[in-house]
Amino acid sequence: MTDKLRGRTALITGAGRGIGRAIAELFAREGARVALADIDPATAGATAEEIGAGAFGLALDVADSASVRAGVDHTIANFGQLDILVNNAGFLKYTTFEDCREEDWDRIVDINMKGPFLCTQAAIPHMRARQTGAIVNMTSLAAKTGGLAAGPPYAAAKAGVLTLTIGMARYLAPDGIRVNAIAPGVIDTAMTSAPEHDALKASIPIGHSGQPEDVAQCALFLACDDSRHITGETIDVNGGLFMD
């Protein structure tokens, strides 16, 4: 490893499994101390134990402001600082425009869009005081295509994250805080195992689905000094399913 994150600390939401876990593992290998936040603290704790020294798991519900503030405070209390925030936690339940229930809409939007807002809001005072920070949001291919394989609330929430990323980047740039996003396509996780994704998988120009590690490598680039002059951008990791 190249120690690109040596001496830095990261809080990663949804870190117990899938993409979040891959990001946490890679960041740790690159020298970061990592707080693995998840609504399921058991999976976060188990992953942190596998990573070893410099990692710990904590319970965090990104849709609840009190839980978010407690998680950010806990991370800073343990590490003394917070350099990197990865807003990865997500939730997908396939719906259509006709059968989407109001409670499903609220939960999907709360986790996928309100969550990144609340976590960033909680991290701003600390990062601003230190005049440094890198925030990586997780949007989606669905934000750019309408999300017919994911459903309207998920697509709308992820499109909101894309726009929030630009707004955050403009607002926080004077404080030395960079904000960027990743838009994964079909990545092999539990979230994309539903039949609705089969047609998308078959149409990937590069010929195969992505792996969580592919997204993790992009997150590392956006979190480290390799991207020190990049902010307000969204990087597609989709094997060519969407090109712009």
**Euclidean distance between CA atoms 190 and 118, whole angstroms:** 25
Which tokens belong to 113? Answer: 């869009």
Answer yes or no: are the C-beta atoms of 146 and 154 closer than 8 Å. no
Phi-psi group of 92: left, alpha or beta (phi > 0 → left; psi -120 to 50 → alpha; rest → beta): beta
E strand or H helix that includes residue 217: helix 212-223
User: What amino acid is encoded at 118 in this protein?
Assistant: L
Task: Catalogue the active-site residues.
Answer: 154
Please list the helix, strand and coil fractions of the chain in percent, rounded to the nearest 5, in that order: 50, 15, 35
**Cα separation of 36 and 10, whole Å?**
9
HSE-CB of 102 using CA atoms within 13 angstroms = 0
What is the rounded radius of gyration, in angstroms, for the C-alpha atoms of the chain?
17
